Amino acid sequence: MTRLTRKSRGIATALSLGVAMATFGSVAQAATCSYSISNEWSTGYTGTITIDNTDSSALNGWNVNWQYNTNRITSSWNANVSGSNPYSASDLGWNGNISPGQVVEFGFQVDKNGGSAETPSVNGTVCSSSGTGSSADTSTPASSAYSASSVATSGQQCNWYGTLYSLCSNTQSGWGWESNASCIAATTCSSQPDPYGIVGGGEDPTPSSSSSSSSSVQPVPSSSSSSFESSSSVAPSSSSSSMTSSSVSSVDWSERADNPFVGANWYVDQNWAANATASGGAAIADVSTAVWMDRIGAIVATEPGQLGLRDHLDAALDQGANLFQVVIYDLPNRDCHALASNGELKMAEDGFNRYVNEYIAPIVEILSDPAYSSIRIIAIIEPDSLPNLVTNLSTPACMEATGPGGYVDGTRHTLNELGKLPNVYSYIDIGHSGWLGWDDNFQEATVLIADAIKGADKGVDSIAGFVSNTSGYTPLREPFLDSLVSSTIGGGGNQVRSADFYEWNMHFSEISFVQAWRDRMISLGFPSTIGMLIDTSRNGWGGSERPTAVSTSTELNTFVDQSRVDRRLHRGNWCNQAGGIGERPQIAPEPGIDAYVWVKPPGESDGVAEAGIIDPNDPAKGFDGFCDPTFTTVNGAGTGALPGAPHAGRWFPEAFQILLENAYPPLD
């Protein structure tokens, strides 16, 4: 998995996120400006303003304005928005130039303020004509196939990623779209581009069972409510665990948890527990670890002794567990900057369609089985994907992943599909502090990842939170250094953060990073209940070499090296490090943190240590120099990788022994 740190200078990092990040001009009447509604709920909505350069000349810089009757903006992204009605928006520099035929968009969240959703006209010298709607207009924009304010009719169908959904009754939102006995929210087809959207016609439906299809349907949350509020989306009670697909409508749904880990009985993977016990780790063999769906062949067991997804879920029921952690990890061009965990799907080989149809679809089919409706599914979404789009665009596979069918489209599709299941809680991976912790990386990453999520069907309510340090080694705290980030050492006035190991990164520890990330996301329009997870499976850094006091040296690098608990040769080293078992999983250990979790099962390899070795069951995984103990990295340091490692995900008993020895807190 990719664990590089700072991005290469001069590499563009403004990405498409489904929108061309071209720039706009100040030349009068050169572009078409339009306003559309993205996602709508009872009290508000997210909107988008699009500027399409229809001129033959490039535009340099842009400013537009609009005004509401009752609606008011609460937050925005990808533009400098000012005013308090009327509003004005201007470019951010990186999205200020629009080439001919290119488009730029920016978004915002709107409070209806007691009224209905409005689609005002967009004006400005850059606009060739007034945009869609007017200040009093609440109708559907002409450019949109459907919006929540339009009236659905009984003969209509929703074409969603090639599946036709028919009208159905929805006990919470009045009506919705139904396919395969699943009733999805009314707004699922909102603002979908051709060929998706609404097809057909007929009479107005009524919000009652008379408009339902013949299939029984399960209640789903109304699109008008936040998935973090107890009155909104819901999770099934344990009484439904033995139900079959024909009895979905009788599921007894309970309130959806703000923190899904509270009051839960966590599933323990018995295959991992057996390996841990056999390797001397009986003391932690009862700890819950995530199950990785790292290839299509992992969904249904193809190897002797392997458990497929349904096998694991059945085992969870046998254990009486009601919380199950699964890693969704098979995007096209996966791990685009590294080789150890390269995936099987390539964008150039129809990877996106395979991801949708051969990977996500069967996972969703299994997870939607009512037999598992009592289990809270914690979905860790695509480790390392979106962070790679911030720092590694100099790698062709990463640059390719910025385009259509790449990481953003794949992530949004995953969120949309999992969002149909009320007992699934999705957490988006955000790398770690030693990767995105620098100010420039942090700012670009938060905007990019926020925009990717906001473009999903349920917007900011598509996720339960974010997860950091997945498969990582960054400690929760640097007990002797965290408070000294900006302090100076020696007579030269050198700040501690300027040491070679930290390279001016403000975040020495993972808790500092995730709490800053959470605050930033709330400022970008995410709910204040958003939660964070930290993978603590291997970041303990205990043992005899763990420092017990701050250094007394006055030489900066010596001071830092003698004081830090993270003993890697370089902070960017990520493969098979001599870390230690970290904090055991805990619920709500710090403000804003839902849980410490073990996403990476301790003892499983990060990547093969020698070139030329093929994993016959997963040949896409290759050799990366960062896993070779003899390799000198681009950072000029050794890798610190342990010798003799098998391919990523395979059991590595020698590494497990070191993790046990270096556990912190120490094992009993």
The sheet with strand 87-90 has its strands ordered as: 63-66, 87-90, 80-83
Q: Which of 332, 339, 322 is nearest to 241 (CA)?
A: 322
Give DSSP secondary structure letters for 496-537. Answer: GGGSTTTTT-S--SHHHHHHHHHHHHHHTT--TT-EEEEE-S
Look at the block and give the residue holding tokens 């999983």.
585
Ramachandran assignment for 647, one of left (phi > 0), alpha (psi -120 to 50 degrees), beta (any other): beta
Which residue blocks in 533-640 are alpha helix, DSSP H?
A: 556-563
* Active site annotation includes 91: no
* Residues 6 or more apart in contact with residue 45 via CB below 8 angstroms: 37, 38, 39, 109, 110, 112, 117, 148
Report d(CA 405, CA 662) in Å as an integer. 42
Q: Which helix (H) or strand (E) holds 90?
A: strand 87-90
Tokens 């850094």 appear where?
541
Please, which residues have CB within 8 angstroms of residue 517's CB and are 6 or more apart in sequence?
430, 442, 446, 466, 468, 532
| Residue 576: DSSP 8-state | S
- Listed in sequence order, the DSSP H helices in 188-296 are 270-278
| CA torsion, ordered 397, 400, 402, 406, to nearest 10 deg | -90
DSSP E strand stretches across 323-370: 323-328
3-class secondary structure, 286: coil
Q: Residue 440 CA to chain centroid, in angstroms?
A: 20
In angstroms, the Cα distances linking 474 to 326, 548, 552, 580, 663 are 22, 18, 24, 11, 14
Is residue 78 helix, strand or coil?
A: coil
Q: Which two three-digit tokens encode residue 79?
A: 């533009």
Active site residue 606: yes
| Pairwise CA distance, residues 267 & 290, whole Å | 9
Where on the phi/psi map is residue 238: left (φ > 0), alpha (ψ -120 to 50), or beta? alpha
Instruction: Write down the catalytic residue from 294, 606, 618, 624.
Output: 606
Among residues 384, 409, 457, 618, the one annotated as catalytic is: 384
Contact 185, 176 (CB under 8 A): yes
Total residue count of the chain as it appears in this document: 668
**Which is it for the CA torsion 631, 636, 640, 645, positive or negative?**
negative
Q: Which residues of 580-614 are buried (b: 16+ CB within 10 A; e: fewer)?
A: bbbbbbebeeeebbbbbbbbbbbbbbbbbbeeeee
Instruction: Identify the H or E element spanning 182.
Output: strand 182-185
How far apart, in whole angstroms, are the C-alpha atoms of residue 648 and residue 245? 36
Q: What is residue 358's DSSP assignment?
A: I
Q: Which residues are catalytic?
A: 384, 606
